[in-house]
Structures are given as structure tokens and as C-alpha cells.
Amino acid sequence: MKFAVIVFPGSNCDHDTYYAVKNVLGMEAELVWHKDTSLHGADVVVLPGGFAHGDYLRTGSIACFSPIMTEVKRFAEAGHPVIGICNGFQILLEAGLLPGAMLRNRSLKFQCEQVFVRVEQVDTPFTVACQQAQVLRIPIAHGEGNYYAEPEVVECLEANRQVLFRYTTPAGVVMPGANPNGSVNAIAGLCNVTRNVVGLMPHPERSCEDIVGSAEGLVIFKSVVQAVTNGLQDSGSIEPLLGR
Amino acid sequence: MSSNKTVLTDDVLIERHGLTGEEYQRIIKILGHVPTLTELGIFSVMWSEHCSYKSSKVHLQTLPTSGPRVLQGPGENAGAVDIGNGLAAVFKIESHNHPSFIEPYQGAATGVGGIIRDIFTMGARPIALLNSLRFGLLKNSQVRRLFTGVVAGIGGYGNSIGIPIVGGEVGFDKSYTGNPLVNVFCLGIAKVDEIIKAAASGAGNPVYYVGAKTGRDGIHGATMASAEFDENSAEKRPAVQVGDPFMEKLLLEACLEAMKTNALVGIQDMGAAGLTCSTCEMGSRGDVGIEIDVSLVPQRETGMTPYEIMLSESQERMLLVVKQGHEAEIEQIFEKWDLHAVQIGQVTADGKLRVKDQGAIVADIPNRLLTEEAPIYHRPTAEPDSLDTMRNLTFSLLEKPLKTLEVFRQLLRSPNVASKRFVYRQYDYMVRTNTIVSPGMGAGTVRVKGTNHALAMSVDCNARYVALDPYAGAQLAVAEAARNVACTGALPIGATNCLNFGNPERPEIMWQFARAVEGLGSACRALEIPITGGNVSFYNETDGESVLPTPVIGVIGLLDQADKVVGRRFQEADDVVVLLGEGFGELGGSEYLELAYGLIRGVPPALDLERERALQRLLVYSATAGLIKSAHDCAEGGIGIALAECTFDSGLGVEANIVGISNDLSETPFAEVATVFGESASRVVVSVEKKLLDEFLDRAAKAGVVATVIGRVGGSHIRLSIDDRLVIDESQAEAERIWAMALDEIVESSRAVA
């Protein structure tokens, strides 16, 4: 199966994601330029981290007008798996594929550090290989990762079990000190209603090998391989997963 | 040209260009006529200290620059050494001190941008950054503004462009109050046979301009960096450039893509002195000329004169020489990245820099007059009178020291010793997924993807030592940087330097500089580490007060097996703690003297380069052989602080017992602090698994390194005894809390007061 890693001008985790998928996971991967209008037959789309268009105007706001985004939206609407990591998450928010917005970190500073996130739901293509409530040690690196949505939207997200990852202590406890950026309900990642589009602020592609400090992010990529292999792709919808 | 010729006899105008009367007369003589205003501007920047190295050249020529691994020594945009597998490490360090004082965020950010361009200009993909920063004391609100601004600026640029900042050093001393030091190191990887030089060749080949448009920013930046500051320095703000990391990211990717074609002859970034420096240096290196028309240069302001266009230091611009007939190929690549490559001229055979404005010649200067024939000064040197007093340290005149435990706590809290997490947490140190030793865990180390290798790198300088003895101080800086690299298990293979000094026209500053360069050269020769390039920053003075002489040394090392890398932290309880090297209770220039008495006094620790070399070779061997589990250098605060640092982030305590010193302090109240916090050189704390201890000690003995078992890892306390008498007993968690939070607390609490 094949991953498309979208390259926007200013993306800087594109090579890291490509490396994780291709060299660590052993899957096919292709870097797809943002002016391209085809996903080249990919089974999974990744919007990588970075500073697309220099974060100018607003994070992710210019990237969602790139030609490739029309294809990404079509792909997502057809039920195929799409994940946005960090800046990719911000782009998904701006593109309206996920609800909510990002504010500056509570500290008002860029923060780069290892954090712990608890897996809240395992019935999505990007968490299917995780254990319920499994705690993953994955790094963050962002200045605007303070997730915000209107209270009624957050309520809806929780009711629909769309919150996939929450910042916690190493033991998996949600508490203020374990929330690095002030995100509402300690939300680190979420999915859309149809559960095939996922955004998360931490960088799983940076934690795929022990030599760089953690291999605990690999399970997210393994999940989607498992999900696609088990038929999500063939059915053209997310029905098999919803039934889990 | 006659229509453009302005007769300039105005002394003020000459002085404003930073030229002396003699230099001006020399220009007239070698040029054969009175320069036009544009020509005068070109001479002034090319002959500035910053571009010409006119005061430092005679000294720098003595440095060892060759070695079996050296692929590129000084003279290009960056140095390069062979790291095997057909790959080269391309690296250099540069200063951006003056702009950072005037505008901390942009000054520091553009410093990052400049050094990154130097690296990718060589055809290398930049993969790591380090920073070496100096500020005044944080109780001063202006200093806090500079400190937080510089750190944000470095992070802002590095994070955005996606090159990890994997380590560095930050120091504080009141001499830097009005003149912070912002030195940034960058390392990239290139294929050996794809290294690109910044030389033009082939008359008729087109010269292209790519990147950001030219504005009036940064005009005379190089001249500004060649003068001291005074109370009017704020007026120099327009000379500071503004950075655009996004533009640079596009430029980086587009240039690397263009370099993969066979269409490029040479490339150089427009850094200091912008278009002027890049055109005449590229021509000079290739022994050809370059002719450009400034009216073709993309401009973002209207009404710019040729003078302004030639001297602008607008950021994120490159000059390319393209093979004739390959223009479309190059233009297409830049088009893809939404950048415009514009032909502004061509290579000529006459060896001249010829500048036209809509066809009319406004400057016509043989390149060699700007480069090789720039003035070279053998400036007078004189040992400062104050040095004898400074080197004299009489302990009997000092108040008795506090209890050792109290000193220990104070040292942990000292900004020079405390964790720099406040700084590096704002830096993306993980992007590119190569970082295997992250900031604060030892010398920054990145693996080289596609090989088993890793590269470790460290920038170091203890300026107090240099102030007390520039020769010894520079040697100690080389030794420390190389030792830090060796602690990871990497063999030091190359060095770069950033020499930050005061006004070279003062004989005592020039003496410091000359002695430091001698020390630097001697240490690099003894340790067999060639210097492949660097940067000199003079005029680091405000109102006649110079900064401490600060020759920052960057050393890179090669680790054959990335997975054998060794860090600072203890790994497991019951491992044996071994001290390599010996302590002699040397307190001259120590952090302790500064902390307790506000003194920079005495003589720096003695350094035996043969012993240092043996120690470093032992560390490299032991890491590769898997004999040691952690290694950490004893620096500021001596073995007391080093032991504590080994426990931080490990969750483990330590129990150690060391031998009391025997020197003239032995029988004084200073014996204890000298033993624990003395800063004798060439010492490393390692931890070793019990079953490997004999093998390790045997190795050390064979290597001629004194190795002493001093204790064991474990427990929840840091316990240190001298000759079995307990002098420090502190909860490990509490010591770590003090150390980890100190910088945050100082910055935050003083903000509250202010």
C-alpha cells in the first residue's frame, strides 16, 4: 500500500514522514507537490508538519487553497484515511475537514518536548492497532497547538467519541500540569464524524525508532496499514471500522 | 563613466564610510582616479574589518588547516571534512553580535539565516544548528529583553526552516551587557563529489539573481560590525536586516534542486556586503570578472540608487553563475518554488567588477583591489597592564567560604551552570529525526541517515580563562569542545572558530587576539584537529568597555556506530562511577570565585595536551567497545557539579568519595571548595557496569589515563565525601529541581518585579 506525503512550500516534516513510512515501516511512499492535482493512487494521505507558507496570515490558512487540497478533500469524503500532523492538523482545521481552531500556546512560546498522550478511541484507521487508554510518549514542537472549539462543539466531539488523543501524565492521568499548551479538554488529536480524517499535534513520525528517543508513535502508522489491509480501502467507506 | 564621477574630498564622507584617510588615498592610487560614490561604497564594505579580515589575517594564517580528511579549508563559504561513505560534513560558525544588540529578534534570526545559506551554498543539506550565546546579568531588564529576544529569534528562524538546533552553550557575564554575543554554528551533509564552489568561470556565462527582492535594509551592516557601540547606537537600527525563514526555506530547496542539475557553475549567498561581496568574490576566486546592471536587480523599494543596491544586505538572496545554454533549466526550478531567477549580468574575462545602471557604468574596479589587495595590518600588540593584578589571587584576603552544601546549591542555581531548558525548549531540536543526543544531554549528536555513522558537535569557550591568559584560555576552549565531542564516543575530526574580541586598534585587545590565535593553533595541532574556517568579530565594545575575549570553538566528531553513542546521564543503579583525570584544586577563573566573590582572578587551570589527547582517545575507544554507559566532562563548578549533572534526568542518585587536594590551599579554609569545585582540566566522570570495570581500568592504564573509582550510582541522594568525610548530602530530586527551574525562575520572577 502507498502513502502520499503532501509537500507544501514550507513543509519541513515531509522528509521525516516519508522516512518513517518508507524506511521504518517498509511501505511505499511518495512526496506529492502541493501544485499537483493527483494523489498518484495513494491509499493514505499525510499532511506533514512544518510551516506551510511560512505560517503567514494564519497557520494553515494559505495551504488549504493549494490545488492538491481539492483532491485531498475528495479523497477524504470518499472515506479514505487522511492524517494531518501538527501543521497538517492546522491545515485540516482551516480546510474545514476537522472542527475547531488553534490558539497560541498558553506559554506564548514555541515548545519542543516529549509529552504523553492517552489513546481515547481505537475504532479509527489511525488508532486501530492501539490499546484502549494506551499511553504514548511522542514529542510536540509547536507554537500554536492550543486547541480550541466552541463549548457546544467540544461537547459534540466528546459525545461522538471524536477525541482520539489527550495529553496526560506518564500514567495516563489528565491534569493541568500534563497539558503542555492549554488545549481544551487536553485534546491532542481528534477525528471527523466519519472517523477517517484525523489530526494530531504531537509528531508520531519523530518517535518511530528507539535511537531517536521513542518508537511509540509507530503504532499510529501501523494502525492505518492494518486498517487499509483489512478492507477499509476496498469497501470505499468506513463501515467495517464503525462496526467495531 | 565621467558623467557619474563625483569628486569626493569631504573628510566626513570618507569617515562615514569607515575608511581612514590613508585607506582613501590608497584607493585613489590603486584605482588611478577618485572613486565614484558607488565605488567608494564598494571599497568601504570590502575593506571593512568584517569582510577583509585586515587586522586578523596575519594571525589566522598561522592556524593548522590541513589534514587527511579536509576537503575544504578556509576561503570558501564553509569548511568540509570527509566522513566516509562518499559523504562530507560541511560546517562553519558565524557571529551576528552587533545586529542582535540593536534588534535582538531579527538580529539573531538573520544570523541563523546567514550561516544556513553558507552551508547550502556548498551543495550541502543543513542538518543541525548550534548556538553559542553570551549576555550580561539577567537582573538587568535590558539584558532580559536581549536574552529572550535572541532566543526567540533563533528559534523562530530555525524552527520554521526545519533545521534542528541540537545544542550549544549560553553564558552570562556583565561584560556582555551592552554587547551580547550571538554565534551560530551550522552543519550540513553533501556528497563529496557534489560540493559546489563559489567561483565564477567561463566568460559569457549568465549571472543570475534569485530570492528576495532588494530593499534599503542592512546598508552598511558590515561597516557597522566594524565599529564600537556608543549611546547613539540605536540610530543604527535601519542597518539591521529583517529575516524571512519561509523565503529561505524555498531558496534552500530550490538551490539544492538546481545543484543536482549540471547547469550551475558556481553559487554564493549575498551575506555581508550583499551584491558587492558576492560579485567580486566569485569573480576573484575564478580569476574572471563579473558585469552586472543594477537596474535589472529585483527591488522592493522605488528610487534605489546603484550605491544602495550594491550595499543592501537584504536577506535570503543568492547569486548564481549558470552554464550558457542551461538558463531555462534553472529558471524552471526556481519557478516551481515560486521564486524568480533573474539574469542581471554575465561573466567577463577582464577580472573586473563592473556595475552598470541602465547601461551606464557606475563602478569599474579590478576584483583583486577589493579582495587580495585590501589593506592588511600588523597591528601593534601590548600585554594589558591590568593582567598582573588579575592573575594575582590571594585567598587570605577573601572571606571564608560558605558551607560546601550551600555553595553547591548556589552553583546549581547560577545561570552559567543551571539547565538551559528555558532556551532549548523553544528550539525544535528533533525535526529531521536524526537527533540522538538532544540539548542538555551531552554534545549535540545527529545520525547520518543511510550510514551507521553519527556526528557529534560542540561549541565551547570559557572566556574567564581567556581573559586571564588568552593563550591558555584558547587551548582550554579547544580541549573542552573536543572533550565534549569525545564524551559521546565521537572522534574529533574538524574545528571552526568564532573569535569575538574588542577593538583591534587597541594594542591590548590585539595582544589578546594574537595570543588566543596562537593558543588555538597549538591546541588544534596537538589534538590533530584541523580548523576549516570561521569568523572574526572585532569591535565588541560599548563605550570603550570590551567584552571578555571570547574565542568560541566548534568541534565536530565522527561516531562510527550511531547506536553506540554515550550521553551524560547515569543509566543504572550499582554502576561504578570512575573519575578520569585528576583534580588539583585549581580555582583560578572559576565559576566559584565569580559566584562567591564576583572575581575573575588567578591563572586558569593547567592543561597538558598530551594527557588530553590520551583521555579523548580512551573515551572514543570505550564508547565503541561498549565499556562505558555515560560520560560527562567536569567544567564550571568542577567535579561537584559534574557528578550532580550525571544524575539529572536519570532518576538515580550517587555516592562518591574523592581524595582531598594537596596544594597550597590544603591547610586553608578553601581546601574543601577547591577540591569539590576546582576546575582542573581534562577530567571526565564515567559510569561503568561492574563486570566491565577491570577491563575498563586496564584500558585506561594502557592509555596512560589516571582512572579512579570514586563511587557508585544509586540511592535517592547526591552524596559526596572528601577522604570519607561527607561534605554534600542533598536529595537528588531537590538538586535537580533547583538546577532545572533556575533560569525560568530568574526570567519569570524578575519580570514580575519589573
Each residue's pLDDT expressed in tens, for chain A with a length of 244 residues: 999 999 999 999 999 999 999 999 999 999 999 999 999 999 999 999 999 999 998 999 999 999 999 999 999 999 999 999 999 999 999 999 999 999 999 999 999 999 999 999 999 999 999 999 999 999 999 999 999 999 999 999 999 999 999 999 999 999 999 999 999 999 999 999 999 999 999 999 999 999 999 999 999 999 999 999 997 644 444 443 332 2
Residue B752 has what pLDDT?
Answer: 52
For B346-362, what is the mean pLDDT?
96
Residue B271 has what pLDDT?
Answer: 83
Q: Is A65 an interface residue toward B (CB < 8 Å)?
A: no
Residue B1 has what pLDDT?
Answer: 41
| Beta carbons of B430 and A111 less than 8 Å apart | no
DSSP string of B536-551, one letter each residue: EE---EETTEEPPPEE
Domain span at residue A120? 2-230
To probe the interface with A, which of B433, B436, B448, B747 has the most A CB atoms within 10 Å?
Answer: B433
B372: confidence class by pLDDT, cuts 50, 70, 90: confident
Q: Taking a C-beta distance cutoff of 8 angstroms, is the pair A75, A82 a contact?
A: yes
List the single residue in A with minimal CA-CA distance to B248.
A10
B59 catalytic residue (yes or no): no
pLDDT in tens, B412-443: 999 999 999 999 999 999 999 999 999 999 99
Q: How far apart are CA A33 and CA A67, in angstroms?
A: 9
| Beta carbons of A10 and B160 less than 8 Å apart | yes
| Beta carbons of A109 and B425 less than 8 Å apart | yes
In the β-sheet with B550-559, what is the strand arrangement from edge to edge? B435-437, B444-447, B454-460, B550-559, B491-500, B531-537
| Beta carbons of A56 and B246 less than 8 Å apart | yes
Domains in chain A: how many in total? 1
B319/chain A closest Cα distance in angstroms: 22
Q: Give the residue numbers in B contacting A (CB under 8 Å), as ranges.
A: 152, 155-156, 159-162, 244-247, 249-250, 336-338, 424-436, 438, 447, 449, 562-563
- For residue A40, report the phi and psi dihedrals to the nearest 5 degrees: 55, 35
Of A9, A109, A206, the CB nearest to B337: A9
Q: Which cell is B79 given?
A: 569548511
Q: Taking a C-beta distance cutoff of 8 angstroms, is the pair B376, B57 a contact?
A: yes
Residue among B386, B490, B416 nearest B83 (CA): B490
| Beta carbons of A53 and B246 less than 8 Å apart | yes
Of A51, A112, A212, the CB nearest to B436: A212
A50/chain B closest Cα distance in angstroms: 7
**Domain assignment present for A12:** yes
Q: How far apart are CA B322 and CA B325, in angstroms?
A: 8
Of A12, A35, A211, the CB nearest to B431: A12
Q: In the predicted model, is pLDDT for residue B221 greater than 80?
A: no
Of B249, B426, B433, the CB nearest to A212: B433
Q: Is A55 an interface residue toward B (CB < 8 Å)?
A: yes
CATH, residue A9:
3.40.50.880
| Beta carbons of A54 and B246 less than 8 Å apart | yes
**Domain assignment present for A78:** yes
| Beta carbons of B159 and A110 less than 8 Å apart | yes
Query: B731: helix, coil or strand?
Result: strand
Mean residue pLDDT across chain B: 94
Q: Which residues of A touch B159 (CB under 8 A)?
A: 51, 110, 112, 141, 143
Residue B541 has what pLDDT?
Answer: 94
pLDDT in tens, B459-490: 999 999 999 999 999 999 999 999 999 999 99
Q: Which cell is B45 given?
A: 564594505
pLDDT in tens, A111-158: 999 999 999 999 999 999 999 999 999 999 999 999 999 999 999 999
List the single residue in A with minimal CA-CA distance to B427.
A112
**Domain assignment present for A52:** yes
**Domain assignment present for A236:** no
Q: Taking a C-beta distance cutoff of 8 angstroms, is the pair A36, A67 a contact?
A: yes
| Beta carbons of B428 and A112 less than 8 Å apart | yes
**Domain assignment present for A178:** yes
What percentage of chain B exceeds 90 in pLDDT?
90
| Beta carbons of B433 and A206 less than 8 Å apart | yes
Which of the pair, B239 or B674, is modelled with greater confidence? B674
Q: Which residues of A touch B245 (CB under 8 A)?
A: 51, 54
What is the 3-state secondary structure of B357-401? ECCEEEEEEEHHHHCCCCCCCCCCCCCCCCHHHHHCCCHHHCCCC
| Beta carbons of A16 and B432 less than 8 Å apart | yes
Q: How far apart are CA B110 and CA B97, in angstroms?
A: 11
pLDDT in tens, B118-148: 999 999 999 999 999 999 999 999 999 999 9
Residue B5 has what pLDDT?
Answer: 46
For B170-191, what is the mean pLDDT?
97
Residue B10 has what pLDDT?
Answer: 72
Residue B229 has what pLDDT?
Answer: 65
Q: How far apart are CA A102 and CA A118, in angstroms?
A: 20
**Domain assignment present for A235:** no
| Beta carbons of A9 and B246 less than 8 Å apart | yes
Cα distance from N-terminal residue to C-terminal residue, chain B:
59
Residue B11 has what pLDDT?
Answer: 80
Q: What are the DSSP E strand ranges found in B34-86?
A: 70-72, 79-82
What residues of chain A, 185 to 244, have a C-beta less than 8 Å from chain B? 203, 205-206, 208-209, 211-213
pLDDT in tens, B723-752: 999 999 999 999 999 999 999 999 987 655
- For residue B631, report the phi and psi dihedrals to the nearest 5 degrees: -150, 135
Q: How far apart are CA B424 and CA A139, in angstroms?
A: 14
Q: In the predicted model, is pLDDT for residue B6 greater than 70?
A: no
pLDDT in tens, B599-627: 999 999 999 999 999 999 999 999 999 99
B96 catalytic residue (yes or no): yes
CA distances from B531 to A224, B93, B120 (A): 49, 11, 20
For B693-722, what is the mean pLDDT?
98
Query: Which helix (DSSP H) or strand (DSSP E) does residue B182 occupy?
Result: strand B181-191
Query: Which helix (DSSP H) or strand (DSSP E) does residue B749 occupy?
Result: helix B732-753
A180/chain B closest Cα distance in angstroms: 12
**Domain assignment present for A23:** yes
To probe the interface with B, which of A211, A216, A218, A221 has the most B CB atoms within 10 Å?
Answer: A211
Which of the residues B17, B50, B98, B220 is marked catalytic?
Answer: B50
Q: In the predicted model, is pLDDT for residue B364 greater than 70?
A: yes
**ipTM at complex level:** 0.93
| Beta carbons of A10 and B159 less than 8 Å apart | no
To probe the interface with B, which of A5, A8, A12, A87 has the most B CB atoms within 10 Å?
Answer: A12
B580: confidence class by pLDDT, cuts 50, 70, 90: very high
Q: Which residues of B touch A19 (CB under 8 A)?
A: 433, 449
For B187-215, what is the mean pLDDT?
95
Query: B558: helix, coil or strand?
Result: strand
Residue among B249, B282, B289 nearest B265 (CA): B282
Q: How far apart are CA B573 and CA B689, in angstroms?
A: 9
Residue among B220, B242, B270 nearest B153 (CA): B242
Q: Which residues of B touch A56 (CB under 8 A)?
A: 246
Residue A240 has what pLDDT?
Answer: 37
**Domain assignment present for A179:** yes
Q: What are the DSSP E strand ranges found in A88-209?
A: 101-103, 111-119, 135-142, 146-148, 163-168, 187-191, 197-200
For B286-299, what is the mean pLDDT?
96
Residue B216 has what pLDDT?
Answer: 86
For B314-327, what is the mean pLDDT?
95
Q: Which residues of A touch B337 (CB under 8 A)?
A: 9
